[in-house]
C-alpha cells in the first residue's frame, strides 16, 4: 500500500510521545529519515491531517498514562478531519442518503415529484419544459436513486472521485464542478430522453471521472492518479449501457444521455484545468 507524506521535522527532534499517542489512537504511521530530516508517513490525507494537528497542538499530557483506546478514538478523529477537509463530499453524500430515505429509494411518488427535472402538472403528468422559477430542479435529480445497488454504487464512486478533487482543489471547486456536471448531464437527459422521471449521481460521476482523467494526462498529480483499469472499466460500462445490454439484463432504464453529457463536460473541464496547470 502506498504511503502519504504527512510532515517532516528535524532529525534530532524526539517524536516518541507523538508516536505513542498516534498508536493509542489507532492511527497507522511510520517514520523514516530522508535528507537529514525525519519524515512521518500515513496511509491517507485524513490521517496526515490528524498527525499535523496533534503535532501543532502538542500531545495531550492527560493521555500519557491512558490505556490504548482502540479504533473508536481514531474514528472520531477521522470524522472530524473529514468534515473539515472534504465538507462538500460529505454533504452531497448526506443529502443523497436523506433523499433516499424520504423517497424510499424511488418508490414514494409524491416525494419524488420534488426532485424531478420538470415539475408535475396539476393533471399529474411530468411537464414538458423546465420551470425556471423552480431552478433547483435543474440539479435536484442527482439526489434521486432507485434501489440499494444504484445508491451504493453511486455513493461509493462520488466518495472516491469527489474527495480526490476536494483535497486537491478545495471545497468550492468541487461544489462548482458538481453543480455544473449535474446541470449539463440532467439537461442532456431531458433533451434526448424527453420529459420523464430520471435521477442518480452517475452523470456527475462521469463528469468527475472525465475531469480527473484529462487533468491527470496533462498535469499528473498524486490526487488524480486513479487505480489502473478504473477509466477502462467505467468507459466499458458506459458502452454496455449505450448498447442496451444492461437494460435487457433487467437493470432498468439507463440515463445514457446524462452519462455521455457528464463525461463530455468533465473531459472539457479537465482538459482546460489540466492545461492551465501544466502551463504554470
Residue reference for cell 487505480: 227
Most confident region among 16-25, 50-59, 213-222 by mean pLDDT = 213-222
Q: Is 202 in the active site?
A: yes
What global pTM score does this model have? 0.76
What average pLDDT does this structure show over 21-31?
Answer: 80
What average pLDDT does this structure show over 10-17?
Answer: 88
pLDDT tens digit string along 62-88?
444 444 445 555 566 667 767 777 899
All CATH 3.30.70.2080 domain ranges in the chain, comma separated? 4-81
CB 202 within 8 A of CB 154: yes
d(CA 24, CA 26) in angstroms, rounded, equals 5
Determine which one of 29, 145, 150, 259 is catalytic.
Answer: 259
Confidence at residue 64, expressed as pLDDT on a 0 to 100 scale:
43
Q: Is 2 in the active site?
A: no
The packing angle between helices 230-243 and 202-218, to 10°, is 140
Architecture of the domain defined by 87-279: Up-down Bundle (1.20)
Average the pLDDT over each of 65-69, 153-157, 261-265, 274-278 and give the range with the smallest value. 65-69
Q: Reply yes or no on whether the pLDDT at 61 is more than 70.
A: no
Determine which one of 29, 150, 169, 202 is catalytic.
Answer: 202
Q: What is the 3-state secondary structure (H, E, C) of the chain?
A: CCCEEEEEEECCCCCHHHHHHHHHCCCCEEEEEECCEEEEEECCHHHHHHHHHHHHHCCCHHHCCCCCCHHHHHHHHHHHHHHHHCHHHHHHHHHHHHHHHHCCCCCCHHHHCCCCCCCECCCCCECCCCCHHHHHHHCHHHHCCCCHHHHHHHHHHHHHHHHHHHHHHCHHHHHHHHHHHHHHHHHHHHHHHCCCCCCCCHHHHHHHHHHHHHHHHHCCCCCCCCCCCHHHHHHHHHHHHHHCHHHHHHHCCCCHHHHHHHHHHHHHHHHHHHHHHHHC
Architecture of the domain defined by 4-81: 2-Layer Sandwich (3.30)
All CATH 1.20.1540.10 domain ranges in the chain, comma separated? 87-279
d(CA 232, CA 158) in angstroms, rounded, equals 17
pLDDT band with cut points at 50, 70 and 90 for residue 59 = confident
Torsion of CA 183, 186, 191, 196, to 10 degrees: -140
Rg (CA), the chain: 22
CB 141 within 8 A of CB 186: yes
Amino acid at each position: 500500500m502506498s504511503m502519504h507524506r504527512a510532515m517532516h521535522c528535524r532529525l534530532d527532534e524526539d517524536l516518541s510521545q507523538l508516536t505513542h499517542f498516534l498508536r493509542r489512537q489507532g492511527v497507522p504511521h511510520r517514520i523514516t529519515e530522508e535528507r537529514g530530516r525525519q519524515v512521518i508517513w500515513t496511509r491517507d490525507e485524513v490521517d496526515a491531517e490528524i498527525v499535523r494537528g496533534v503535532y501543532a497542538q502538542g500531545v495531550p499530557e492527560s493521555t500519557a498514562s491512558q490505556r490504548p483506546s482502540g479504533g473508536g478514538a481514531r474514528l472520531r478523529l477521522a470524522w472530524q478531519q473529514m468534515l473539515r477537509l472534504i465538507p462538500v463530499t460529505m454533504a452531497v453524500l448526506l443529502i443523497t442518503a436523506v433523499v433516499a430515505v424520504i423517497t424510499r429509494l424511488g418508490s414514494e411518488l409524491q416525494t419524488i415529484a420534488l426532485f424531478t427535472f420538470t415539475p408535475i402538472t396539476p393533471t399529474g403528468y411530468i411537464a414538458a419544459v423546465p420551470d425556471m422559477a423552480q431552478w433547483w430542479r435543474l440539479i435536484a435529480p442527482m439526489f434521486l436513486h432507485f434501489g440499494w445497488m444504484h445508491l451504493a454504487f453511486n455513493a461509493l464512486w462520488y466518495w472516491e472521485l469527489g474527495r480526490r478533487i476536494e483535497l486537491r482543489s478545495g471545497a468550492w471547486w468541487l461544489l462548482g464542478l458538481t453543480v455544473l456536471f449535474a446541470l449539463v448531464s440532467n439537461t442532456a437527459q431531458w433533451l434526448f430522453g424527453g420529459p420523464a422521471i430520471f435521477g442518480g449521481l452517475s452523470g456527475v460521476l462521469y463528469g468527475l471521472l472525465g475531469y480527473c482523467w484529462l487533468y491527470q494526462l496533462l498535469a499528473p498529480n498524486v490526487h488524480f492518479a486513479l487505480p489502473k483499469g478504473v477509466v477502462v472499466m467505467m468507459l466499458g460500462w458506459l458502452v454496455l449501457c449505450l448498447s442496451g445490454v444492461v437494460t435487457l439484463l433487467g437493470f432498468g432504464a439507463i440515463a445514457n444521455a446524462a452519462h455521455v453529457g457528464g463525461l463530455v463536460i468533465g473531459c472539457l473541464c479537465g482538459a482546460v484545468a489540466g492545461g492551465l496547470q501544466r502551463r504554470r
